[in-house]
Structure 1
Amino acid sequence: MNSHNFNNKYIIGISFISALGGYLFGFDFAVISGALPFLKIQFHLDAWWEGFLTGSLALGCIVGCLIAGKLADRYGRRPGLMLSAIVFAISSLGMAFSSGLSVFVMMRFAAGIGVGMASMLSPMYIAEISPAQIRGRNVAINQLTIVIGILITNLVNYLLADKGTDVWRWMFGLGAVPSLLFLTGVLWLPESPRWLLKAGKKQQAASVLQKIGSAAFVEDTISDINQSFEGSKPQSYAAVFGKAVRPAVVVGITLAVFQQLCGINVVFNYTSTIFESVGANLNRQLFETVAIGVVNLLFTLLAMWQVDKLGRRPLMLIGSIGLSVIYLVLAFLLQNHYSPAVISIFVLLAISIYATSLAPVTWVLISEIFPNSIRGVASSMAIVSLWGAYFILVFTFPILAKKLGAYGPFYLYAGICLLGFVFVLRRVKETKGQTLEELEHNLIKH
């Protein structure tokens, strides 16, 4: 299929607009690490509440994913993206104007609904409009915008940090700006051709595909998609456990859970806590969040360049074993109170390895490995599992750190990464360069 000509500018344009959902996800994810030192004072948080307030985003994400799966299958990908933008805007302002802890946690939960919807719909939409040869790179655009969201948010937090005790309200309220940009962009997006064909709108699907590639590409894609729908029943959660698709579902869910329990998001969300444990002041703690954002961005760009060349499997293997080793070193350094500068080196190393491997590749695989007939439902299950694992991770960290010291949990994460390495080695097949329909055929054949 390499002979087709594609309208690359158009494909990248619509991928970037859809991926603005990722930017909002990055914002909500990162804003907490700069705001926590202020929120602890404002709301007198203990370890339990610190974990719950941070993790409440993930509980909202779970609800968002469940809503998005159903919405996307019934009304299309586009309305779901619009709704997530609106939820984002309202919840950002809601957090900024919170009068007390319970209102704040409810608004953070609502923000999670928006994040959950976007975390599912943006990569799914991009995978569905992208030709096979560039699908990995395009889905990774979503990861890129998440990372840009994290970096810009960390920078803004750093610059705002000395503006008084109420500055956390500005940190959250500013999220309304990218939300409105995203909403404006989505109005311009076409609907996914795969959804249009499924809804019986062949003419509309063909006109969207014509903007993407040549006439031959349109014809091939329509016939491939239609073949994959033949004999497929309506999506239900029961269908996800069917014997033919079970291997893909097990791999998707396990990778999603592993991407979170590998422990890296503790570094993102609790940068302040980790560096505080070795005596770094608030300015240094917030500076570290910016350094993390910069490294995260640079290595995500590297991953986008490599994901369709090196392949998914080698990147996952390098990532899991690399993190395991770095965590052991990091735990040792934290335990023995090395200087923040030395710890910073290993924190940034961990971020760089994660950003090139588990971060983008997990999302690429989740958007690829499920058959067309169950993609919506199976993706939502995998991503619900991902957010469940994220909640467990960020909720337990302050409690574990209090009992074991900030270094203790890293020994645990090193072990989880080792198990992840073994799983990828045994169960994950390479998917680069194949169309979604070819993948489905190969998967069900094995």
Structure 2
Amino acid sequence: MNNEQKTISLTLITIVASLGGFLFGFDMAVISGVLPFVEKQFSLTAAQEGWFVSSALVGCIIGVALSGELSDRLGRKKPLLISAILFTLSAIGCSMLPSLAGVIISRVLGGIGIGIASNVVPLYISEIAPAATRGRMVTYYQFALTLGILVAYLSNAALVSAAGSGGSLMGTDTWRLMFGVGAIPAILFFAGLFTVPESPRWLQLKNSQAATGMATALKRVSYSDLFAPGIRRAMLIGILLPLFSQFSGINAIIYYGPSILSNAGVSLSNSLISQVIFGLANMLFTLVAIWKVDSWGRRPLYLYGTAGAAVTLLLTGLCFYYGYTTSVWLLVCVLAFLACFAFSIGPLKFVVASEIFPNAIRGRALAISIMVMWVADTIVGQLTPIFLKSIGSGGTFWFFSFFCVVAFVCVYKLLPETRGKSLEQIEQYWKDRGVEMDPSAGNETIIMH
């Protein structure tokens, strides 16, 4: 296979795998259009509203908890097939089950699929990508995620427009159709996975283990050993980046954008159109990360992005505090924040976390990293409606601005540059800093218990 054929093959594989990111983004964003309808139909309290949003996130935590074991034992491809099935079942269930409890159960199932995909997709892409373009290829996953968000906003707005004042279309509640659209990419994801290969690095690891003998050659360690000297800093980075990404305020806009704008006096249809604009900006500025992540590097992009996010969130809070909610300034501030998030905080948590861990523990270590993201996301999903009602929109955005400042400081002090390094070179970097290895083994062979 020549270089051109290899490039085409890698591109097609990345597109298929990134459909998992598309579904992740779609499911995360579709709730913003669904929420006002469900809140009105079922007269949800603030706590019930938070649970309706966060039920999928509980499923995500379950999915991530399973994903490390699944990816280590079954490879990277089979867990993705499982996630595609769960995505499909969730979309169908949310659109057809009559009770709110049934919808919530379906969202939990979809969340499990998201949890598995959110770990395994960037892991899989990082393992098939050449070192020189790994950052860009993993960022395609984030681009697909933002495209899924945009498509959710567009489909939500289109369905609301088609339904008109009646609130239903073809005899079906509009919000159920919003969920049902997700079945189409889920089926495409499932079918496409049959065309991609297994991760070569996972196959290499399994072949190495088989050759040396599982019973005698493997060093058994506990999860606490992930914080051993050398790996400890990598693990800390892998935990902090996804934590800060959720406390940056992005999901306050994605989940509650229409509600926030509606409470500020903007009509539902106009707030949904604003969400489309937000989603488009989020997607387009992710292209900056794709363009520069392998030339500028991970560290500069993250520092620029967190600094910009802190300032723009502060200004967004001021717009709400002083009542400039119907002016162009609110839109400008939110778009500027989305730009900063999209080229740094959003994609780089996946890029860095998928490449900084040694091969033999990468699946489980990345699962812990993504688990932190979903736990933080669940907390934010619960706190945001409470904060909006207690300290107001301005105070809520200032809270998120503070965390962006903390993220800037932590990244400045902790994050090394991994641009252009192979996964093996990055692994050696941590080995040189105190990871205990078995000198008789050809590479690090560790299993978790």
TM-score (norm 2): 0.90
Are the aligned partners of 2:205 and 2:360 in contact in 1 as well (CA < 8 Å)?
no
**Residue 295 (structure 1) aligns with:** 281
1:325 matched to 2:311: yes
Q: Shift of the alpha carbon at 1:100?
A: 2.0
Three-state SS of the structure 2 residue aligned to 1:112 is helix
**Residue 183 (structure 2) aligns with:** 176
Alignment partners' CA distance in 2, 1:336 and 1:9: 52
Are the aligned partners of 1:233 and 1:373 in contact in 2 as well (CA < 8 Å)?
no
- 2:295 corresponds, among 302, 305, 309, to 309
Are the aligned partners of 2:286 and 2:343 in contact in 1 as well (CA < 8 Å)?
yes
**Residue 338 (structure 1) aligns with:** 324
Are the aligned partners of 1:96 and 1:169 in contact in 2 as well (CA < 8 Å)?
yes
* Structure 1 segment 232-381 matched on structure 2, within 5 A: 233=219, 236-340=222-326, 341-381=328-368
Alignment partners' CA distance in 2, 1:288 and 1:323: 19
Q: Shift of the alpha carbon at 1:345?
A: 1.2
Runs (5+) with no aligned partner, structure 2: 434-449
Are the aligned partners of 1:29 and 1:269 in contact in 2 as well (CA < 8 Å)?
yes
Are the aligned partners of 1:126 and 1:139 in contact in 2 as well (CA < 8 Å)?
yes
Three-state SS of the structure 1 residue aligned to 2:393 is coil
Which amino acid in the other structure matches residue 39 of structure 1?
Answer: V
Alignment partners' CA distance in 2, 1:232 and 1:127: 24
**Residue 42 (structure 2) aligns with:** 43
**Residue 10 (structure 1) aligns with:** 9
Which amino acid in the other structure matches residue 153 of structure 1?
Answer: A
Q: Shift of the alpha carbon at 1:120?
A: 0.7
Alignment partners' CA distance in 2, 1:320 and 1:103: 39
Q: Shift of the alpha carbon at 1:6?
A: 7.5
Are the aligned partners of 2:209 and 2:217 in contact in 1 as well (CA < 8 Å)?
no
For residues 340-380 of structure 1, the C-alpha deviation after alignment (integer angstroms, 9 at most, x for no partner) is 33211111111111001110111100101111121111000
Are the aligned partners of 1:126 and 1:138 in contact in 2 as well (CA < 8 Å)?
yes
Q: Shift of the alpha carbon at 1:202?
A: 11
Three-state SS of the structure 1 residue aligned to 2:296 is coil
Which amino acid in the other structure matches residue 137 of structure 2?
Answer: N
1:422 matched to 2:429: no
Task: Number of aligned residue pairs: give it.
Answer: 418
1:187 matched to 2:194: yes
Alignment partners' CA distance in 1, 2:4 and 2:20: 28
Alignment partners' CA distance in 1, 2:241 and 2:409: 12
* Structure 1 segment 50-89 matched on structure 2, within 5 A: 50-89=49-88
Which amino acid in the other structure matches residue 198 of structure 1?
Answer: L
| Higher mean C-alpha displacement, 64-73 vs 233-242 | 233-242
**Residue 381 (structure 2) aligns with:** 394
RMSD, matched Cα: 1.9
Alignment partners' CA distance in 2, 1:413 and 1:293: 19
- 1:445 corresponds, among 418, 429, 432, to 432
For residues 256-275 of structure 1, the C-alpha deviation after alignment (integer angstroms, 9 at most, x for no partner) is 11111111111111111221
Are the aligned partners of 2:150 and 2:279 in contact in 1 as well (CA < 8 Å)?
yes
Alignment partners' CA distance in 2, 1:260 and 1:192: 29
Three-state SS of the structure 2 residue aligned to 1:109 is helix
Q: Shift of the alpha carbon at 1:131?
A: 0.8
Three-state SS of the structure 2 residue aligned to 1:200 is helix
Which amino acid in the other structure matches residue 433 of structure 1?
Answer: G
Off by >4 Å, runs of 4+ in structure 1: none
Three-state SS of the structure 2 residue aligned to 1:95 is helix
| Higher mean C-alpha displacement, 428-437 vs 272-281 | 272-281
Which amino acid in the other structure matches residue 88 of structure 2?
Answer: A
Which amino acid in the other structure matches residue 226 of structure 2?
Answer: V
Which amino acid in the other structure matches residue 266 of structure 1?
Answer: A
Runs (5+) with no aligned partner, structure 1: 204-225
**Residue 413 (structure 1) aligns with:** 400
Q: Shift of the alpha carbon at 1:240?
A: 1.7
With over 3 angstroms needed to count, the CA separation of the structure-2 counterparts of 1:6 and 1:62, relative to structure 1, is same
* Structure 1 segment 153-168 matched on structure 2, within 5 A: 153-162=152-161, 163=163, 164-165=167-168, 166-168=173-175
Q: Shift of the alpha carbon at 1:286?
A: 0.3
Which amino acid in the other structure matches residue 127 of structure 1?
Answer: S
For residues 419-441 of structure 1, the C-alpha deviation after alignment (integer angstroms, 9 at most, x for no partner) is 11100010000000000010111
Alignment partners' CA distance in 2, 1:193 and 1:144: 24
**Residue 33 (structure 1) aligns with:** 32
Alignment partners' CA distance in 2, 1:356 and 1:244: 29
Q: Shift of the alpha carbon at 1:404?
A: 1.2
Are the aligned partners of 1:85 and 1:114 in contact in 2 as well (CA < 8 Å)?
yes
For residues 231-275 of structure 1, the C-alpha deviation after alignment (integer angstroms, 9 at most, x for no partner) is 763575233233331111011101111111111111111111221
